[in-house]
């Protein structure tokens, strides 16, 4: 193979040297069909339409995304999420170790229901708090801190198994 222009041609794309593009950007457009671009101004109209569509899509995406979560908030959410996950595991181990001492069927059912609701409580607290306090970060972390105190699996921490 020769070393003339063929090697350089393989490393270039048509439109790379377009002066209207910002440095570092490549020209990307919609594929044209046989009906598009038949007139002389077709490329300019297509570029303008594509640019308007991209601007509209970007504006819609930014508006739909809502406020962006900061790094500190993500770290705190991870800490609280991990704590509530550990609480759930603590309640599961408590439920598996506690014996039901009720003698009647209604009492046995209510005791078991209470234990399994205790297992679900940390996950529900975290999810509901997160869902109801969108955009109100101080309120969200206040309720998560309250939940971290209230939902502590005291039977597991104290070692109660009977």
pLDDT tens, residue by residue, 71-127: 888 899 899 999 999 999 988 988 888 888 878 999 899 988 998 899 999 999 998
Specify the pTM.
0.54
CB 90 within 8 A of CB 156: yes
pLDDT band at 158 (very low <50, low <70, confident <90, very high): confident
Percent of the chain with pLDDT over 90: 23
Average pLDDT estimate for 12-36:
63
pLDDT band at 149 (very low <50, low <70, confident <90, very high): very high
Res 83: pLDDT: 92
Res 117: pLDDT: 93
pLDDT band at 26 (very low <50, low <70, confident <90, very high): low
């Amino acid at each position: 193979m020769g070393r003339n222009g063929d090697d350089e041609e393989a490393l270039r794309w048509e439109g790379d040297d377009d002066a209207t593009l910002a440095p570092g950007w490549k020209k990307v457009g919609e594929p044209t069909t046989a009906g598009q671009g038949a007139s002389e101004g077709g490329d300019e109209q297509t570029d303008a339409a594509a640019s308007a569509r991209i601007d509209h899509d970007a504006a819609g995406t930014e508006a739909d995304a809502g406020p962006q979560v900061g790094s500190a908030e993500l770290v705190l959410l991870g800490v609280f999420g991990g704590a509530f996950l550990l609480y759930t595991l603590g309640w599961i181990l408590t439920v598996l170790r506690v014996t039901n001492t009720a003698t009647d069927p209604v009492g046995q059912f209510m005791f078991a229901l209470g234990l399994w609701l205790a297992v679900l409580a940390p996950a529900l607290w975290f999810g509901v708090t997160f869902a109801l306090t969108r955009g109100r970060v101080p309120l969200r972390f206040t309720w998560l801190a309250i939940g971290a105190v209230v939902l502590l699996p005291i039977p597991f921490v104290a070692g109660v198994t009977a």
